[in-house]
Amino acid sequence: MRFSRQQLERIAKWQPIADGFTREDFSVISARITPAIEALCATNRWKVRVVHDSGMENFYAISIRGANDPKATTHNAFPRVSGLLVQLSLLCPVAAVARAEVLAGEDLRDWTEMGVEQVIVPVRGKDEMTDAFLDAFATSGFEWASRAELSERLPDDLRIEGFCYGPEPWDRVFHMLFHAND
């Protein structure tokens, strides 16, 4: 998905660029994201953790992992497992997906970060988790952006007003779509 300058300017101001998307209420989360999370969890094969809940962000992020978490030990109090990290824009139907080591366990907040260099386009048949993820989000309306699309440089005079969770510079479409504001 390519963005026009006008669309990027609207996103910079946290204004939606597509019908059915907004950050002003929880409608995107309840209509598009929560049903997919519930579908994943209903199988009892996957666990989903909210990583960023849109409180101060223009996106919502979740991690997905297998249901059989390793137990914390004295030597590994915060075990991590292979999973998916998904960032879903609340302003347009675009999401980024990455394979990541995500935090296992129930009572911990995961602050896993995604960088544009980690973005993948999820492909059916890669593994069971990816297939389950694609099935759950099939009717959500989100498109899975590619690394190339998200790596496009922002116009020199257009920058985010806030911060990203990854390292600077924050000068790519990725950073415009997935940033926070204090």
Give the whole-angstrom CA distance, residue 163 versus residue 146: 22
Single-letter amino acid code for the residue at 152: E
What's the pLDDT score for residue 25? Answer: 86
What's the pLDDT score for residue 107? Answer: 60
Query: How many residues are given for the chain?
Result: 182
What's the pLDDT score for residue 182? Answer: 63
- Please report whether residue 50 resides in a domain: yes
What's the pLDDT score for residue 81? Answer: 86
DSSP secondary-structure letter at 90?
Answer: S
DSSP secondary-structure letter at 153?
Answer: B
Give the whole-angstrom CA distance, residue 130 versus residue 46: 11
Place of tokens 């980690």: 118
C-alpha distance from residue 158 to each of 10, 116, 150, 161 (Å): 11, 18, 15, 9
3-class SS at 120?
A: strand
- Count CB atoms within 10 A of the CB of residue 81: 17
Give the whole-angstrom CA distance, residue 170 versus residue 72: 35
Structure tokens at 5: 């300058």
Read off the pTM: 0.92
E strands, 15-158, in order: 46-52, 59-66, 80-89, 94-103, 119-120, 143-144
What's the pLDDT score for residue 109? Answer: 63
C-alpha distance from residue 106 to each of 49, 50, 145 (Å): 8, 11, 29
Helix, strand and coil percent figures for the chain, each rounded to 5 = 25, 25, 50
- Please report whether residue 31 resides in a domain: yes
The total number of structural domains in the chain stands at 1
- Please report whether residue 72 resides in a domain: no
What's the pLDDT score for residue 104? Answer: 79
**Could you tell me the mean pLDDT of each successive run of 10 residues in the chain, 182 residues long?**
93 94 90 96 94 88 89 76 94 96 72 87 95 97 97 93 86 94 72
Domain that holds residue 32: 5-67+78-177
